[in-house]
Structure formats: C-alpha cells, structure tokens
Amino acid sequence: MSKIKPSKGAPYARILGVGGYRPTRVVPNEVILEKIDSSDEWIRSRSGIATRHWASPEETVAAMSVEASGKAIADAGIRPEQIGAVVVSTVSHFHQTPAIATEIADRVGAGKPAAFDISAGCAGFGYGLTLAKGMIVEGSAEYVLVIGVERLSDLTDLEDRATAFLFGDGAGAVVVGPSDEPHIGPTVWGSEGDKATTIKQTVPWDAFHGGDVSNLPLDSQGEIKFPAITQEGQAVFRWAVFEMAKVAQQALDAAGITADDLDVFIPHQANMRIIDSMVKTLKLPEHVTVARDVETTGNTSAASIPLAMERLLATGKAKSGDTALVIGFGAGLVYAATVVTLP
C-alpha cells in the first residue's frame, strides 16, 4: 500500500484572465513587397494578412510577456505572488538557458514559482494550458500563468516569397485557476513527426559553431543569412485544413458538446484560408464568432490564440462565459485542441 497522501488540488480549472501585447510598429504589406516579387492583392488572397506588428529592440520576448502577463493577472483579480507556476511557449527566445520564464516570473512579482519554457510551436498555448490545468487539479499550484510569446520577425527571411509576409510579433497570456465546475475540456493533442520537415528552421544553430559555412544560405548581398523559419506551404495547408478539422471535432466530442453549442471558435491564426476552410468543414453555425485576428496581427505562432482571445473580448465580439473551441497546430507537426469557457 502506498504511503503517499493524495493530492488536494481543485476539482477543476478555468481561465480567469487574459492579456495581450502587440508591438507598437505596424508593418503593412507594402513594406514586405520591398524585398519580394509579389503584390498586396496576392498576399491578401493567399493569407488574408494586411498588416502585422514587428517588435523594436526594446520589445523583447521578456518585455512583451511582462506587459501581457500584467494585464492577465489584473484581469484575473489575483496578486502576482499567488502564482505558483509560469509556463512560457516560445521558439524565438535565443538563449538555450536559462528559461525566459524565470525572468518573467521575477519581473511580474510572482515570487518563487515553478518556471519553465516549452517548445511546441503554434500549438504551444494549448500545451501550456493543458499543463496548467493538470497542475491545478493535481494541487502543485493554485494559479498558473501561461504565456505564448514570439518575435518571429527575428526568424523571418524577408527574401523568401513564400513566408516573408506571414509572421508577426506579440505576446498573449492567461491566468488559469481553480474552479468548482469544468471550464477547460479534455485536450486532444498529438504529433506527426514524419511530417516534421514541412515547417522547420533553415539551418541549425551549430552550423555557425566552428563548422564549414560554405553551404549556408546567402542573401542578395552575399551575406550569410540568419536562420529563419521555412515551410512547404501546400503540404501544411492540406494538413491543417483536413487533419486539424478532425482534431477540432474530436475536441468537441471529448467535451460532450456539438458545434451548435459553441459561441466562439479561436483557431491558430496561421492563414485566413485555413480558418475559413475549417469553419466550413466543421459546419459551424452562423451564430459562432470566429477569430480572424490574422488580418492585422499575422501569424504569431504560440501567441496567436491568446492574442485573438483578448481582442475578441476587448471588442465585445465575445463575452465572458462564452464557450469557445481553441486549436493550435504547427511545426513538429504538433497540435492541441480543447473547449474552454472564456474569462
């Protein structure tokens, strides 16, 4: 017989507050067109993106996260020192160690919480949310701060016609806390590693570490290009449209609801065509509000779902208590979907 006492966590968990931060610089498609042979009409028709935000040197991964977190903590109505864990999803924090979560935890005044980073690309927010729910129910933390943050402008090849227009910067955060009722459904998540190369970094960091640099890509000026994110656009599109609609339906089934029960749909803001195709495949009713933040924010990877959630609530297009389906998907290929009650 085990001598370990059972944990004393909450019966359930829920999102209590949300906050977002978008860099001050707004970049229209015209700026992107300075280095690629394309057009505003082509970019809009293929992606739905008109503008995106790019961070200044001062708007670091940590700085943006602190701003978004402060708003989420205030929205949740708790004190920073009540936070028992900080989970940060990002692929654009360039220090291997320490985790940026530790700096963020200190700067928001969280005291000495557990703090760590995860790398799950555009599904990272869903992964973090699932970890937070587990911590609260298990009893290892009463409140968890989950952050999705990216400076993807640092990982964008502005001469790559296929991706130069896609990416933006920003941070989104939520506070997850205890609940007497289920407000975060079961997570449907997974990976398809056999497709990992469809979204990837162009060259690994160790290519610059005393190796042969003759095979590294060069820009139009003959300079070695910094590593960037590249993808096989058509393969990613097909996977997202057909496979992720199935995952989204599985999340609805796991939560015990149908599309008719939904108020809001918040997919990863990768591409407007993907979003519209998923809406059609899922046969979402007209009353369901669909997040289309990608038009003015671009693809911000792990930050896209909480940023879209924050904007829907701030503009009144969604309201507290609404039932929302959220799904993230991207590099790996990884995915995570769940049904939540909006804060």
The residues assigned a catalytic role are 122, 268, 299
CA angle 53, 58, 64 (to 5 degrees): 60
- Rounded CA-CA distance 246/240 in Å is 10
Sequence letter at residue 202: T
**Full DSSP string of 224-255:** BPPP-EEE-HHHHHHIIIIIHHHHHHHHHHHH
**Strand (E) positions, 251-306?**
264-267, 289-290
CA angle 20, 161, 44 (to 5 degrees): 55
Ramachandran area for residue 256 (φ above 0: left; ψ -120 to 50: alpha; else beta)? left
Chain position carrying tokens 């059972």: 6
CA angle 176, 182, 184 (to 5 degrees): 50
